[in-house]
Amino acid sequence: MMENQVYTSAGVVHLIKGEGRLLKSGGSWIYDNEVAEITGEFENGDVVCVEDFDGFFMGWGVVNLDSKIRVRMLCRHRKEPIDDAFLEERVRNAYAYRKNVMDTSSARLIFGEADFLPGLVVDKYEDLLVVQSLSLGVDRLKRSILSSLLRVLEEDGVSLRGIYERSDAKVRKKEGMIPFKGWIWTRKAGWIEEPFNDMEHQWKAKDPEAMFPEPAEDIYVEITENGVKYRIDVENGQKTGFFLDQKQNRMEIQKLAKGKKVLDCFTHMGTFALNAGRGGATSVVGLDISELAVAQATENAELNDLSETVTFRAADVLEELPRLYQAGESYDLLILDPPAFTKSRSATKQAIKGYREINRQGIRLVRDGGYFATCSCSHFMTEELFKKTVKEAADSVHVRLRQIQFRTQAADHPMIWGGDDSYYLKFMIFQVVREK
Q: 111-121 pLDDT, tens per residue?
A: 999 999 999 99
- Whether the per-residue pLDDT at 83 is higher than 50: the answer is yes
Residue 396 CB partners (closer than 8 Å, separation 6+): 356, 360
Same domain, 353 and 317: yes
Same domain, 406 and 273: yes
In this structure, what CATH number is given to the domain that contains residue 147? 3.30.750.80
- Whether the per-residue pLDDT at 356 is higher than 50: the answer is yes
When mean pLDDT is compared across 21-25, 50-54, 146-150, 243-247, the lowest value belongs to 21-25
When mean pLDDT is compared across 84-98, 338-352, 363-377, the lowest value belongs to 338-352
- Whether the per-residue pLDDT at 1 is higher than 90: the answer is no
Same domain, 42 and 96: no
- Whether the per-residue pLDDT at 436 is higher than 70: the answer is no
Same domain, 227 and 290: yes
In this structure, what CATH number is given to the domain that contains residue 259? 3.40.50.150
Is residue 197 very low, low, confident or very high in pLDDT (cuts 50, 70, 90)?
A: low
Give the helix ranges, DSSP H, for 239-347: 247-256, 271-278, 291-303, 317-326
Q: How far apart (Å, rounded) are the C-alpha atoms in residues 42 and 35?
A: 15
- Contact criterion met (CB below 8 Å) for 300 and 309: no
- Contact criterion met (CB below 8 Å) for 57 and 132: no
Residue 1 within a domain: no
Residue/partner pairs of 137-140 with CB below 8 Å, 24 or more apart: 137/45, 137/46, 137/47, 137/61, 137/62, 137/63, 137/64, 137/72, 138/62, 138/72, 139/45, 139/167, 139/177, 139/197, 140/7, 140/45, 140/62
Quote the pLDDT of residue 19: 96
- Whether the per-residue pLDDT at 346 is higher than 80: the answer is no
Same domain, 90 and 19: no
Give tens-digit pLDDT for 210-225: 444 445 678 899 999 9
Quote the pLDDT of residue 344: 61
Residue 191 within a domain: yes
Quote the pLDDT of residue 342: 63
Three-state DSSP state, 20:
coil
Q: How far apart (Å, rounded) are the C-alpha atoms in residues 54 and 48?
A: 17
Same domain, 214 and 268: no
162, 166, 167, 171: CA torsion to nearest 10? -160
Same domain, 417 and 347: yes
Residue 195 within a domain: yes
Q: Is the dihedral of CA 253, 259, 263, 269 positive or negative?
A: positive
Residue 429 within a domain: yes
Quote the pLDDT of residue 212: 45
CB count in 10 Å sphere of residue 203: 12
Same domain, 262 and 319: yes
How many domains, the chain?
Answer: 3
Residue 278 within a domain: yes
Q: How far apart (Å, rounded) are the C-alpha atoms in residues 335 and 315?
A: 15
When mean pLDDT is compared across 2-6, 19-23, 192-196, 298-302, the lowest value belongs to 192-196
Phi then psi for residue 72, to 5 deg, are -115, 120
Same domain, 252 and 209: no
Quote the pLDDT of residue 378: 86
Give the helix ranges, DSSP H, for 348-382: 348-363
Quote the pLDDT of residue 203: 45
Give the helix ranges, DSSP H, for 202-266: 247-256
**In terms of residue numbers, what domain contains 61?**
8-75
Q: How far apart (Å, rounded) are the C-alpha atoms in residues 16 and 20?
A: 8
Residue 250 CB partners (closer than 8 Å, separation 6+): 225, 226, 228, 271, 272, 275
Three-state DSSP state, 34:
helix
Which of 220, 221, 166, 212 has the alpha carbon at shortest distance from 191?
212
Is residue 193 very low, low, confident or very high in pLDDT (cuts 50, 70, 90)?
A: confident
Give tens-digit pLDDT for 302-343: 999 999 999 999 999 999 999 999 999 999 999 999 987 766
Quote the pLDDT of residue 216: 64
For the residues 273-289, what does the mean pLDDT come to? 98
Q: How far apart (Å, rounded) are the C-alpha atoms in residues 386 and 359?
A: 11
Residue 355 CB partners (closer than 8 Å, separation 6+): 338, 341, 376, 381, 386, 389, 390, 393
Residue 266 within a domain: yes
What integer best gives the mean pLDDT of the chain? 92
Residue 2 within a domain: no
- Global confidence as pTM: 0.92
- Contact criterion met (CB below 8 Å) for 32 and 38: no
- How far the first Cα of the chain sits from its last, in Å, is 74
In this structure, what CATH number is given to the domain that contains residue 56? 2.30.130.10
Residue 229 within a domain: yes
Same domain, 116 and 170: yes
Quote the pLDDT of residue 326: 97
Residue 255's Cβ-count burial label (10 Å; 0-12, 13-18, 19+) is: exposed
Quote the pLDDT of residue 107: 98
Q: Which of 195, 218, 241 is the last residue of a domain?
A: 218
Is residue 182 very low, low, confident or very high in pLDDT (cuts 50, 70, 90)?
A: very high
